[in-house]
Amino acid sequence: MKWVKGYIFLWIAFFFMLVLYGFFGNNFSISGDIPLTGILKETPGEQYVFPDFNISFSFVDKDIYKLRDIEFSLHFVPIGNTKSLVTLDYVVVDKNGEIKFFDQDVVNIQNETTIDINFDRRKAQEIKLAEGEYTLSVRVSYDNSDKTFSHKFFLQEISDLLYSIKQLFDIKMEIDDTTIKNAKDLSARVIFTSFGSEPTPVNLSFFIYDKWDNEVYRDNEQTTVETEKIVIHDFNNFNAPSGEYLVVLRTVYNVDVEDYFEQKIIIQDRVSPWPFIILGIILIAGVVVFFINRRK
């Protein structure tokens, strides 16, 4: 009977070893159909070496009030000249492991590249989260290899009104010379004064219309304003004949806050100098002939 007791004891010990291995030997896994292998411990600035490139992850440390405030970057350094197709999976889970947000990108990596990801551009504006601790996981997949970077962050609860107040601007558009002789001389200065406390991305769209309300110019650019900033916009591709035009600036920030600014400009007729040059030559020639005849 002793050998039976010993046999049972060995099986019980083996069973407990399996339980302990399953509890401590595996990472916490995400349930559902999200194609992520799991969430790692917080590893800011962690680096990883793939067969064809190195990659590092960096999370922007700042106050998080909404998903759109999340910013991070991935830095790729290729080892060779091979163009690599890389899949990026983004997932945000709460402290209970419940998935709150998922998105995906596919990028081509050939040269040294830094990819800045901002969930403000990832259509996460409508997702509302309660105050608490969350984990962002970024899975980088290449060929048959993958690596997951993770970072824990605390989301602070804030009202929509207060959030908007934190990102308010005083915006002005100034054009020093509204009467010009050449379309390429046109330049606008956009002045931002922030009354908030958060760096805010702003989209600027410039339009020019002729006197018949036809759009003759359009250009877009983006900038981020923290406290005060001046943006100079040169209308390099604007080429138009003389006449009266309307310059319009449209700014968009905080998802849907829009402002419009208008300024009329005039492009004068460019008078050819040749008639004046010819007239001057004729006058000089007339004076010379007059003095020659007088001497005779």
pLDDT in the model for residue 48 = 56
Q: What is the DSSP pairing of strand 132-142 with strand 145-155?
A: antiparallel
pLDDT in the model for residue 121 = 56
- Residue 121: strand, helix, or coil: helix
Higher pLDDT, 284 or 212: 212
pLDDT in the model for residue 281 = 74
pLDDT in the model for residue 282 = 72
pLDDT in the model for residue 57 = 92
Lowest mean pLDDT among 43-57, 60-74, 125-139, 174-188: 43-57
Higher pLDDT, 115 or 14: 115
Lowest mean pLDDT among 31-35, 134-138, 152-156, 228-232: 31-35
Band (pLDDT 50/70/90 cuts) for residue 145 is confident
Q: What is the pTM of this model?
A: 0.47
* pLDDT one-digit tens code per residue, 216-253: 999 999 998 887 889 999 998 888 888 999 999 999 88
pLDDT in the model for residue 258 = 83
Band (pLDDT 50/70/90 cuts) for residue 188 is very high
* pLDDT one-digit tens code per residue, 54-112: 889 999 888 888 888 888 999 988 776 667 788 999 999 999 999 999 988 888 887 88
pLDDT in the model for residue 25 = 37
Residue 155 has pLDDT above 80, yes or no: yes
Query: Buried b vs exposed e over 45-60: b needs ≥16 C-beta within 10 Å?
Result: ebebebebbebebbbe
The H or E element that residue 8 is part of is: helix 2-24
CA pair distance 148, 29, nearest whole angstrom: 12
Residue 52 has pLDDT above 80, yes or no: no
CA pair distance 109, 52, nearest whole angstrom: 10
Q: What is the DSSP letter of 242?
A: S
pLDDT in the model for residue 85 = 83
Q: Which domains are delineated in the chain? A: 27-158 (2.60.40.10), 166-267 (2.60.40.10)
Nearest residue to 191 (alpha-carbon basis) of 227, 166, 165, 228? 228
pLDDT in the model for residue 189 = 94
Residue 270 has pLDDT above 80, yes or no: no
Band (pLDDT 50/70/90 cuts) for residue 9 is low
Across all residues in the chain, what is the average pLDDT?
77
* pLDDT one-digit tens code per residue, 249-259: 999 887 777 88
CA pair distance 230, 233, nearest whole angstrom: 10
Band (pLDDT 50/70/90 cuts) for residue 32 is very low
CA pair distance 148, 138, nearest whole angstrom: 5
